[in-house]
Chain A
Amino acid sequence: MQAFLITFASVVVGGGLAGATVVGLVNSQTAPPAQSPANVSNPTLDYGSTQ
Chain B
Amino acid sequence: MHPARWLVPAWAVALAVLMLGPVLGAGYLLTYDMVWVPDLALRTDFLGLGSALPRAVPSDAVVAVLDEVLPGMLLQKVVLLGALVIGGLGAARLAGRSTVARLAAVSVYVWSPYVVERLWIGHWPLLLCWAVLPWLVAEGIRLRTDARLGAALPFLLVVGSLSANAGLMAAATLLAVGVTRSNAARLVAVTVAANAPWLVAGLLHLDTATSSTSGAVFGMNAEGPLPAPLAALTLGGIWNSEVVPGSRGLLVLPLVLTVGYGALALVGARPLARRLGRRTTTALVSLWAVGYAVALLSWAVPDGLGWVAGHVPAGGLLRDGTRSLALCAPLTAALVAAGVQWCGERAPRIPVAAAGAVLPLAFMPDAAWGISGALQPADYPAEWAQARTALGAGQGDVLVLPFTSYRAPAWNHHRKVLDPLPRYLRPDYVVNDQLAVDGRIIAGEDPRVPDVLAALALPDAGDRAVALADLGVGAVARDRTVPTTSTYDAEVAGTVVFDGEDLEVTILDVPVDEREASAGSLVALGSAWAAYVALVLAGAWNTCRPISSGMPTRRRSG
Contact = CB atoms under 8 A, between A and B. Distances in A.
Given A1-B3, A8-B357, A48-B241, A32 B415 contact: yes
Interface string B48-89: 000000000000000000000000000000000000000000
Nearest to B103: A8
A18 B413 CA distance: 28
A35 to B, nearest CB: 7
B353 A4 contact: yes
B4 A1 contact: yes
Contact of B246 (A29, A38, A45): A29
Nearest to B376: A32
Contacts of B436: 44-47
B439 A47 contact: no
B157 interface: no
Nearest to A4: B350
B217 interface: yes
Contact of B409 (A4, A36, A47): A36
Interface in A13-43: 15, 18-20, 22-23, 25-27, 29-30, 32-40, 42-43
A5 B2 CA distance: 13
Contact of A22 (B247, B350, B415): B247
Contacts of A32: 374, 408, 413-415
Interface in B224-281: 239-243, 245-247
B414 A35 contact: yes
A23 B363 CA distance: 11
A19 B359 CA distance: 11
Nearest to B441: A44
Contacts of B406: 44-47
Q: How large is the interface on A (under 10, 10 to 19, 20 to 34, 35 or more residues)?
A: 35 or more
Contacts of A44: 404, 406, 434, 436, 441, 488
B402 interface: yes
A25 B415 CA distance: 20
A34 to B, nearest CB: 7
A12 B415 CA distance: 31
A37 B485 CA distance: 15
Contacts of B404: 38, 43-45
A36 to B, nearest CB: 4
B542 interface: no
Contacts of B188: none
Given A18-B362, A36-B410, A48 B437 contact: yes
Contacts of A33: 408, 414
B39 to A, nearest CB: 26
Nearest to A13: B358
B301 interface: no
Contacts of B130: none
A19 B246 contact: no
A42 B487 CA distance: 11
Given A32-B414, A50-B221, A51-B241, A22 B438 contact: no
A51 B221 CA distance: 9
A22 B240 CA distance: 22
A15 B365 CA distance: 9
A26 B437 contact: no
Residue with the highest number of chain A CB atoms closer than 10 Å, among B242, B350, B413, B483: B483
A32 B410 CA distance: 11
Contacts of B3: 1, 5
B232 to A, nearest CB: 15
A11 B366 contact: no
B218 to A, nearest CB: 9
Interface in B340-395: 349-351, 353-355, 357-359, 361-362, 365-366, 368-369, 372-374
A37 B432 CA distance: 19
A49 B242 contact: yes
B416 interface: yes
B407 interface: yes
Contacts of A51: 241, 438
Contacts of B437: 46-50
Contacts of A15: 358-359, 361-362, 365
Contacts of A4: 349-350, 353
13 contacts: A4-B349, A8-B350, A22-B365, A33-B414, A36-B408, A36-B483, A40-B484, A46-B436, A48-B121, A48-B437, A49-B241, A50-B221, A50-B437
In the A-B complex, the 5 residue pairs with the closest CB atoms: A19-B365, A48-B240, A26-B246, A27-B372, A11-B354
Given A33-B414, A43-B404, 20 more contacts: A8-B357, A15-B361, A15-B365, A20-B365, A22-B365, A23-B368, A27-B373, A30-B374, A33-B408, A36-B409, A36-B414, A39-B483, A44-B434, A45-B408, A45-B436, A46-B439, A47-B436, A48-B241, A49-B241, A50-B437
